[in-house]
Structure 1
């Protein structure tokens, strides 16, 4: 309506965890007295999965939704079904406070954005005007998902893997090559250096090296029996070559080169449409060999609660946009992009993001947290590093 010149929702912060209270207020500026039935607010969380498939030569769209949260609140005035005279909203600027509570149990899955599936949380406010169209406003925010603590006993147990291969020339044994790996713990937080110790025993006349392929990242989405899987390599690190007839050890915790980038945490069992898990693969490439690789896989968990040490200060946490090379950071919905039509005078990438989910990580001086300018998320430019690649996947139950 023309007499309402401003309608906005202002939150006390942009990131919340399970069990938090959301303190917000509705800001309304009107230049005339308005008869209003009431001002209503709703807090909603929804998971959505959608993509196209081919069936009998036809292209169909399959989709499914899961309601995670649905709470309603009367901010001011009367509810929709109440009778009587409607109150008058006088001219001027008004602020109406409201409070929502996020449930602590069961834990809510974290906010997530991809082309095939989303998990979104938002507050929508409607100003119910009985004799005209009712203006409304929607505010999205990020939820940090279920707590995954790196210090849990099941994650603190080191894992050991070993693989060995003999090299034959006809009936003669030329030598052998062995690979031994020690993973210090199975849960790490974004921004941490992954501790992997590797020993290579190269007793053949060929050079070899070890390659870490970090994270096969899968998203399982189930609707109408259709499955979709997307996979990316999140982080890859290559060590120097190992000379023939030699033994060498590598320790990533000393080299500080194998750092986990900002990715969505592990998500298993909290959302029926989207499941995310990670796998750490350590492989040994062998030159001029028929079977050119020794490979060992380890289960890997991306946590949301950092490790604590008695002799070290607590790490500083920050909230950062997901890396642009992984699922969850590659796609931004058009409804959250605000920009101009390109006319040759404006840079093509000059646009503003109205919303983008953020994830918790151990802060680094070289990393910048997300910025909020006039309640609008400003896009950050992430430089893709050539050694960082990415992985993801999606599944559903058969039409």
Structure 2
């Protein structure tokens, strides 16, 4: 039989690293008999892929309209390091039976984008061990690990500025034009980290004869995927992270709502150095209007970081010591890699918990490869922020 088992063991049990850090660990395998190989290599690599199908209509030679499914895709490679633990590309070597252990090390480049798993693309980092067997199929073992690219909110001064969203709508009833429905939404800043409160103040003034059934506040994630082959395509995917509804407003009524939103464990807004996937967040406000009138809505861009804005005496503090991402003084191994924030005595795990909540403990299987595990999600740097937003729906 030869190879009984092969395992890639990371010294960092949570498998989560910041860019520029060093990945260390060991490869352990057991042989029940001597095994001849050209070599045993280890590969560290990171890449991004996007893919989906689009439908196109063509005219056949007979003049008939035919639909065709075409796959569009994109690929980027960020780094690739490979070396041999045993042997090489020369003569065969024989590995004796028994248990074997080989240490490995790899310094991560400082410009890597964060790990990300989405419906139409991903950014993945893996370690692959290959037994190069002469005249036989290679035996391959893989293990995924998570990369987090930090985002300091203080690097963009605009994120400290308050933002105001103004919404206005007039209703036409037969020959008359009623008074306006106005909604002013204010937030003190546009930069936040997981675990913080996003304070939202809404002033709704309904000088009309129409009832507003409710007001929705949505924290949304917008992922934009790009392809390159056979041509450039763009696809947006919007997901609601948090949804809050507040009460109705009667005709000629008004109300002021102070509604904080807790930022859940979500990845930061920095898929920097990734050209295939962008990730943005926004506060989306929608006033649901009774009858056959269209709703009134608008949005404010939000940036999620890993280092809170200063000064912030009560803001979450990053947990990061030494050369690897280390856990706080609490066993949260069941929650995945110990990336998180400490706030008022509570621990808010960030990247891994979000990914597991969105995708579960993902089991990713590539074509022709062994199965391996992946627990992460992330994306793009912040977009320019504008402090005041105004929408008018007439």
TM range (shorter): 0.7 to 0.9
List aligned pairs for 1:366-377, cutoff 5 A: none
Give unmatched runs, 5+ long, in structure 1: 337-352, 361-399
CA apart distance, 1:62: 2.7
1:208-253: CA deviation from partner (whole Å, max 9, x where unpaired): 2322133251322122123333333333211112344443221222
1:257-282: CA deviation from partner (whole Å, max 9, x where unpaired): x3344444435552222222233221
Contact 1:184 1:195 in 2 (8 A): yes
Give unmatched runs, 5+ long, in structure 2: 59-66, 318-341, 379-394
List aligned pairs for 1:1-399, cutoff 5 A: 2-13=1-12, 14-55=15-56, 56=58, 57-76=67-86, 78-80=87-89, 82=90, 86-104=92-110, 106=111, 108-130=112-134, 132-144=136-148, 146-152=149-155, 153-166=157-170, 174-208=178-212, 209-215=214-220, 217-223=222-228, 224-253=231-260, 258-267=261-270, 270-288=273-291, 290=293, 292-306=294-308, 309-311=312-314, 314=317, 315=342, 316-318=347-349, 319-322=351-354, 329=359, 332=362, 335=365, 354-358=372-376
Contact 1:321 1:359 in 2 (8 A): no
Compare the two structures and name the one with the higher strand fraction. 2
CA apart distance, 1:88: 4.0
Q: 1: distance between equivalents of 2:163 and 2:316?
A: 27
Q: 1: distance between equivalents of 2:115 and 2:376?
A: 8
Which position in structure 1 is the counterpart of 2:333? none
Which position in structure 1 is the counterpart of 2:330? none
Higher relative contact order (CA 8 A, sep 6+): 2
Contact 1:234 1:325 in 2 (8 A): no
Q: 2: distance between equivalents of 1:32 and 1:114?
A: 43
Say which SS state the counterpart of residue 194 (structure 1) adopts: strand
The TM-score normalised by the length of structure 2 is: 0.73
1:3-32: CA deviation from partner (whole Å, max 9, x where unpaired): 221211111231112111111101021223
Report the CA distance shift for 1:359/1:133 in structure 2 as closer, same or farther (over 3 A): closer
Aligned-CA RMSD value: 3.1
Say which SS state the counterpart of residue 175 (structure 1) adopts: coil
CA apart distance, 1:334: 5.8
Contact 2:201 2:258 in 1 (8 A): yes
Q: How many residues of Structure 1 are paired with residues of Structure 2 in the alignment? A: 329
Q: 1: distance between equivalents of 2:52 and 2:174?
A: 53
Q: 2: distance between equivalents of 1:269 and 1:197?
A: 32
Say which SS state the counterpart of residue 320 (structure 1) adopts: helix
1:356-398: CA deviation from partner (whole Å, max 9, x where unpaired): 32359xxxxxxxxxxxxxxxxxxxxxxxxxxxxxxxxxxxxxx
